[in-house]
A and B are shown apart, each in its own frame.
Chain A
């Protein structure tokens, strides 16, 4: 058994590594300029052009973006060695130029001319400055680079750009761009740095309220875990007997009604159920008796409130989310139990117990239960992601400060460090859940222990 667990743990490493890499790629994906977002809380499309070069480079350094992406990089042959040192906002143009001309020295001198001209224009003609800045910072008005530069040149025929652009066009290199080369970047790279921070549990600070991301997510996690654990436990407690009886007493009229109800619940989107409950049963709008549940949501009034204290005060708030989540898991699990019972009950050993004259209860719980309960353990692997996803939506509807509301608030506030940590933690929880279900399965079914 210990050997099996060890082997399973080793096998989980590649999965964890892949999840890490996916999360890292996600951190590099958010729209907008991260350096500009560092300095300003609100986004406007053009104001990042006005950030001075020094300020921008400091921002790059602070975010660690002036390093290579990964330990090893496979780059096109004509790319310069230190492309990663070029400010992010200038890379759009650099990539376009590299694609079209491929001659790095000429490209550099062309860019220098452009930028020198841009600094001249900054004081002289704001309009012309804006045109050039858009080009330099990779937001040209047209997608066609050639056209954009031509427009610029005809706008200011006296500028040195014309000469430099001519040089660039004459020195175009051949189609060597697809030739890949391997570059070793060492450990001073963004991925290494990111992993380092991860292991030191340093996830940065939130952009919305400047609190540490780890604290925010930690607080939210306890609510989500609370809802999920209670719901899954409740659902199993309800659906195991229900499924067993539904399978055993197949023709009972009552159980048939229950089966149809569960079949319907299985198709009800969880957010519709919750919305209906919130709309109809939290106000007195539709009759004097409809104000059953309280739902104003939980807001952390003071940061000093402990989790248990808040929980005790707001126990009523959890009725709707736990009810919805439990129902939807029950609908799924009891169906699985039923079909597993249907399969088992035709087997010979059940016939034998009947022949021995055992009563229904003793057959169901002493013989049928153990054999048809194995799927219950593997079901966890399907339920866990679904349950976490379900509780995310429920938290948004019922205003519970769990991971779901945190995530949605963070997405709307472009607080990407929070978003990434939420994704990472949920994936991690799911992986742990899968691992546990595999190990439990081994323990529950002794037949599997002999073969390794």
Chain B
């Protein structure tokens, strides 16, 4: 074994270990500093005797009516961002479908479109930089929601199983009844349905009314119900449901898409978490904690969660990758994502209108691919370390 390891090429080893993580880091930095990398305002400008930091001012919201309009102002001296275009710059039909490297003129200056322009004359590079932020935002938001739902259900199902908690029949009926009532209000568009529903679900989740005493009580089939829910969610093709529900939004938004993805993709967390809890529950440290008189909540929080959090991060990383693919598929088709929000997917989607504009087909897709492949590789690395 030792002999084999010595044969590993050091360059190859270095590349496989550090390349994916540095690509990921580049994406994160790009997302964080998108405003400084791509903006139609200069970073630093000098007009007459006054100096300005326009990008910074717009980020901290210090712009006011007295601020200069940098689209028409021609500064004496200015440092522009690397890509001097914004993601929200207005369409300019005179420069649509310009190839990479072509220049356009603004305020008497020549600016280069390094990656070309799209079909409304917007700069591709600038939009890809801002698209990076949108993709990562959707991916993380969706997975945080999915993780909260999935981990809660998975732990509840794995830790208690079917015959550990019991509930008084009257209480069970009451909770079911109230939940159905709240659901009815919700379906009828009555706004107080949602807080009510959440209230009842929280009440239910706190298990205040349950006990481990089973005389004259009903078992809470926590495990069976969770498994059945997972089965239902897995039997509807996610993309399809996402398309349909997304298209029914009265006001589409990226956050809405993220929430929908989160609501669909919690099953992987739940199934995985349940399995891990079932495994970890057998450990002697759990029994010891229970025997020592620790409450269930504290056993879960202090002993069970730290044990399973490593593998869960792996699931999270892969989940972010799949959420980003889902979001870009939606915006590729132009459904559920607002038209004015340009994302990697919607840039790529424009390629089908003009087969000559190869840069629209190559660069946004490459960005998605690089992000996904480095996320996957990172996830694999962590999995190897964890197990």
The 8 A CB mask of A376-418 against B (1 = contact, 0 = none) is 0000010001001100110011000000000110010000000
Of B149-157, B253-261, B284-292, B361-369, the segment with at least 4 beta carbons within 8 Å of chain A is: B361-369
Query: Given the complex, which residues of B lie within 8 Å of A397, measured CB to CB?
Result: 352
Is the pair A269, B237 in contact by a Cβ cutoff of 8 Å? no
Q: Is B248 an interface residue, CB under 8 A from the partner?
A: yes
Whether A268 lies near B362 (C-beta < 8 A) is no
Task: Check if A271 sits within 8 Å of B332, measured CB to CB.
Answer: yes
| CB-based contact B185/A269 at 8 Å | no
* Contact present for A267 and B352 (CB under 8 Å): no
Among A263, A396, A419, A426, the residue within 8 A (CB) of B237 is A426
**Nearest-Cβ distance from residue A86 to partner chain B, whole angstroms:** 12
Query: Using Cβ atoms and an 8 Å threshold, which residues of chain A touch B235?
Result: 15, 19, 385, 427, 430-431, 434
Q: Is B369 a contact partner of A269 (Cβ separation < 8 A)?
A: yes
A259 to B259, CA, bound (A): 35
Q: B120 contacts the other chain (Cβ, under 8 Å)?
A: no
Whether B238 lies near A15 (C-beta < 8 A) is: no
Q: Which of B187, B238, B368, B376 contacts A272 (CB 8 A)?
A: B368
Interface residue stretch chosen among B27-35, B163-171, B226-234: B226-234
How far, in angstroms, from A272 to B181 measured CA to CA in the complex?
46
Q: Cβ of B190 and Cβ of A95 under 8 Å apart?
A: yes
Given known A-B contacts A26-B245, A381-B234, A392 and B335 have beta carbons under 8 A apart: no
Which residue in chain B gives the minimum CB-CB distance to A28? B187
Show the binding face of A for B, using Cβ within 8 Å: 14-15, 18-19, 22, 25-26, 28-31, 69, 73-76, 92, 95, 99, 178, 180, 182, 263-264, 266-269, 271-272, 275-276, 278-280, 282-283, 285-286, 381, 385, 388-389, 392-393, 396-397, 407-408, 411, 419-420, 422-423, 426-427, 430-431, 434
Decide if B180 touches A269 in the complex (CB within 8 Å). no
> A69, A389, A407: which contacts B187 (Cβ < 8 A)?
A69
* List of B residues within 8 angstroms of A31 by Cβ: 248-250
B356 within 8 A of A: yes
A residues within 8 A CB of B373?
263-264, 267
Nearest chain B CB to A186 CB, angstrom units: 17
- Asked if residues B177 and A74 are in contact (CB atoms below 8 Å), the reply is yes
B47 in the interface, Cβ–Cβ < 8 Å?
no
Question: Is the pair B248, A267 in contact by a Cβ cutoff of 8 Å?
Answer: no
Please determine whether A269 and B329 come into contact, CB atoms closer than 8 angstroms.
yes
Identify the closest chain A residue to B190 (Cβ). A95
Complex interface: chain B residues within 8 A of A19 (CB): 232, 235-236
Q: Is B196 an interface residue (CB 8 A)?
A: yes
Query: Is B244 on the interface with A (CB-CB < 8 A)?
Result: yes
Known A272-B348, A275-B352, A283-B355: A385·B237 in contact at CB below 8 Å: yes
Task: Kindly list chain A residues whose C-beta atoms are within 8 Å of the C-beta of B361.
Answer: 272, 275-276, 279-280
Task: Enumerate B343-371 residues with CB–CB distance to A below 8 Å.
Answer: 345, 348, 351-352, 355-356, 358, 361-362, 365, 368-369
Contact A269 B248, beta carbon cutoff 8 Å: no
Q: Do A275 and B369 touch across chains, with their CB atoms under 8 A apart?
A: no
Q: Enumerate B273-290 residues with CB–CB distance to A below 8 Å.
A: none
Q: How far is the CA of A430 from the CA of B241 in the complex (A)?
A: 13
B70 proximal to A (CB < 8 A): no
Cβ of B221 under 8 Å from chain A: no
B158 vs chain A, min Cβ distance (A): 20
- A408 touching B333 by the CB < 8 A rule? yes
Q: Are A95 and B355 in touch, CB under 8 angstroms?
A: no
Within 8 A of A (CB), among B139-186: 177-178, 180-181, 184-185
* Interface residue? B328 (CB, 8 A): yes
User: When chains A and B are docked, how far (Å) is the Cα of A326 from the Cα of B178?
Assistant: 49
